Amino acid sequence: MNRRDRLGDILVKHGKITQSQLEAAVHRQTKEHGKRLGEVLVAMGVITQADLERYMRVQIEESVYYLFTWTQGTFNFEADVRPGPQDFLVSINPESLLLEGARRVDEWSLIEKKIPSFDLIFVVDKDRIAISESQLTDAQQRLLPLLDASRDVNQVIEDSGLGEFEIGKALYGLITAGFVHRAGRTTTGADAEITDARVEEHRNLGVAFYKTGMLDEATREFRRVAELRGSDASAHFYIGLVALKQARWREAMEALRLAAEKGGGRPAVFHNLGFAYEQLGRLDEAEAAYAEAAARARTDAKVYLGWGVVALKRGDYGGAAGRLDRARELFGQAPPPAWFWARSLAAAGAGEFEQAEELAEDGVEAYPSHAALQNNFAVLKELSGDLTGAEDLVRAARKNEPSLPQLSKNLGDLAYRGSRYDEAWDAYSRAVELAPELGDDVYFKLGNIAYKRNNRELAAQLWRKALEINPKHELVKANLDTLSALS
């Protein structure tokens, strides 16, 4: 019989007796020959007769269900054999037992596609569960604390007090919903030498694929490394790097966080984790990750640049300026375009517009074909009142990077401000063609132009789109109310 089906273990796992009570009962049973363990436990007063009958039924049912998983074996039938003298007998409907067994076999054929082996280790995606509105079953709730990337399925079954089928069914649901994913597998000592060789083989292939830009293939190899050696931090690190390159921010965050938890203490782990959090909009966590990276790499200019950008996005313009200035020192004479972009915005955010314009101009001089820097410089020129200079910059930037929607929007703003509505219409239309959710103000102004052209139906459509993006836009509401009153 499977050890998990033994009555004593079943009672312990269901909290009916303690391990010490079980050991005491087993010791007492050796002295009271002929008595079954259940009878001893009842005599000790640790369980009731009703509990014993209930869990005897569970034991028998689970044992029979386990037999349904056998694909081969032998059996022996003995005629006219009767139960010996006992205090009680358990009556189970064989038809129900067979139907339930058949149902479990059918379900298990699906479950084993997700859980092909009990030596697999799974880990919970806590963030995905936190934002989900799905209701988990009691078994799934009981399972979650045990899926901590250290226990394989065998150990989860042992520690949960649930049967293999219950665990399999609960785990299958969690995996299918994306709340749980594989983190590796356990290995025996006999497999260790073979596993080491396979790990290195898959790792070397993964690195080679990564360096040649074959990212899906690289991910496949590093996932195999993680499965073979669950504690391997570098495998999760590379999986995270690939996900970053493919803009799969949540997957990158999960992989890099696992790398950090498994001992990947390199600054690059926290640097990239910070960037993943930043792309997800989780700026407080990004701040903490970048701070950890900076503490471990005090002379890495790229870390300070990323840390400064996060401060900028959090509205901490003083903190951003300090970090970015430190990055400039570490970069030397040639900081990258992102530095000029961020530092000029930090100065503007702090109200230092003259310094912001100087920094933006320095950036354009250093990188004359960089559209984002030209756009920033144009916005600052517009703020200073130099509309002609701003428009010249935007047009030049748009020529270099026609697919950047913000440039078309800014050109539209300048034309709209100068009452050149046909030009504004063309520029705004191009902007929303490139980025349909660019902003409510684009649709608001397009609606205004349509209204000026006496196309009230189109104006209403565009204003409704603006209101869809920003339900609190009061001017749009007023325009729609006016239009409704006129119709």
- The stretch 35-50 carries a mean pLDDT of 84
Q: Confidence band (pLDDT; 50, 70, 90) for 275?
A: very high
Instruction: Report CA-CA distances (Å) from 124 to 114, 116, 174.
Output: 15, 18, 9
Q: How confident is the model at residue 369 (pLDDT cuts 50, 70, 90)?
A: confident
Answer whether 209's CB lies under 8 Å from 183's CB.
Answer: no
Model pLDDT for residues 419-461, shown as the tens digit of each residue: 999 999 999 999 999 999 888 999 999 999 999 999 999 999 9
Residue 234 has pLDDT above 80, yes or no: yes
Mean pLDDT of 27-43: 81
φ/ψ of residue 86, rounded to 5 = -140, 165
Spatial CB neighbours of 17, under 8 Å, sequence gap ≥ 6: 8, 11, 25, 41, 46, 47
pLDDT tens for each residue of 238-267: 999 999 999 999 999 999 999 998 876 789
* pLDDT value, residue 1: 44
pLDDT above 80: residue 34: no
Asked if 182 and 120 count as a contact pair (C-beta separation under 8 A), the reply is: yes
State pLDDT tens for residues 308-338: 999 999 999 999 999 999 999 999 878 999 9
Confidence (pLDDT) at 3: 46
Least confident of 98-112, 119-133, 180-194, 225-239: 180-194
pLDDT of residue 254: 92
Do residues 441 and 449 make contact, with C-beta atoms less than 8 angstroms apart? no
- Span 407-414, mean pLDDT? 92
Mean pLDDT of 96-100: 85
User: Average of pLDDT values for 173-189?
Assistant: 81
Report pLDDT for 53.
Answer: 81
Q: Cα–Cα distance between 198 and 37 in angstroms, integer?
A: 47
Indicate if the pLDDT at residue 287 is higher than 90: yes
Nearest to 451 by CA among 427, 432, 479: 479
Give buried/exposed letters for 417-453 (b at 16+ CB in 10 A, else e). eeeebeebbebbebbbebeeebbbbbbbbbbbbbbee
119 versus 325: which is more confidently predicted?
325
pLDDT at 188: 59
Residue 341: pLDDT band (50, 70, 90) is very high
Question: Given a cut of 80, is residue 67 above it in pLDDT?
Answer: no
If you compute the radius of gyration of the chain from its CA atoms, what whole number of angstroms results? 33
Residue 120 has φ and ψ, to the nearest 5°, of -80, 145
- For residue 451, the model assigns a pLDDT of 93
At 124, give phi and psi (nearest 5°).
Answer: -85, 140
Tell me the C-alpha distance between 222 and 236, whole Å. 7
Rounded distance, CA 224 to CA 205, Å?
11
Residue 114, token pair as written in the block:
């997700």
Whether residue 385 has pLDDT greater than 50: yes
**For residue 123, what is the enclosing H or E element?**
strand 120-124
Range 337-360 average pLDDT: 94
pTM confidence score: 0.58
pLDDT of 322:
96
Give the closest residue to 417 by CA, choosing from 441, 393, 401, 440.
Answer: 441
Record the tokens describing residue 216, joined without a space.
């899906």
Residue 485 has pLDDT above 90, yes or no: no
Residue of 132, 234, 209, 232 whose CA lies nearest to 174: 132
- Residue 226 tokens, joined: 């993680």
Confidence of residue 2 (pLDDT cuts 50, 70, 90): very low
Which of 159, 156, 186 has the alpha carbon at shortest distance from 168? Answer: 156
The confidence band for 22, taking pLDDT boundaries of 50, 70 and 90, is: confident
Out of 74-78, 148-152, 263-267, give the one with best mean pLDDT: 148-152
Cα angle 142, 144, 62 (rounded to 5 degrees) comes to 45
Between residues 156 and 6, the one the model is more confident about:
156
Please name the residues in contact with 271: beta carbons below 8 A apart, sequence gap of 6 or more. 289, 290, 293, 297, 300, 302, 303, 306
Mean pLDDT of the chain: 87
Pick 55 or 477 by higher pLDDT. 477
Q: What pLDDT band is residue 405 in, cutting at 50, 70 and 90?
A: very high
How far apart (Å, rounded) are the C-alpha atoms in residues 238 and 219? 8
